[in-house]
Amino acid sequence: MSLEPYLLLAAALLAVGLYGALSQQSVVMLMMGLELMLNGVIVATGAFWFYVSADRPDGQVLVLVVVTAMAVEMAVGFAVTTAIFRSRDVDMVDSATDLKD
């Protein structure tokens, strides 16, 4: 095993998540795309820790930070969905412009 297969897996997950984030109209599906992108970052960071700098804890700490970013993204995403749904009864991304003022 080497670093390249793990990085390829991370790149594939990031690309699939990017497709979802760019194309989906639903806020919840958009969140799924973002989560897949963060999943790719987690895999890449873990692989870098193991193959490049296993003697230092920086990679593991970065994985913890990315997992926290994932939790933050979920919480704020659901709050935004709740706010949009209350005002427009759908959870479309385009409805977010209606929330200003």
Partner 1 sequence: MVQAVVFAICAAASVAAGIAVFRVDSMARATLALLASFVLAAITLLLLDLSYLGVLVILMMTMEMMIMIVFMVMYMMNPAGLMPMTMVHNNRGALAISIGVFAVLAAGIFIVPWPDTRPGTPADPTLQLAEAIMGSKMLVMMVVGMVLFATMVATTVLSTDRGRYDRYGDDLRRSRPDDPIRGGAGR
Q: How far is the CB of 10 from partner 1 (least distance, A)?
A: 8
Contacting residues for 101 by C-beta, under 8 A, at least 6 apart: none
Beta bridge partners of 92: 26
* 97 touches partner 1 (CB under 8 A): no
- Taking CB under 8 A as the criterion, which residues in 1-60 touch partner 1? 1-9, 11-20, 22-26, 28-29, 31-33, 35-36, 39, 42-43, 46-47, 49-55, 57-58, 60
Neighbours of 42 (CB within 10 A): 18
For binding to partner 1 (CB under 8 A), which residues are involved?
1-9, 11-20, 22-26, 28-29, 31-33, 35-36, 39, 42-43, 46-47, 49-55, 57-58, 60-61, 63-65, 67-68, 70-72, 74-76, 78-83, 85-86, 90-92
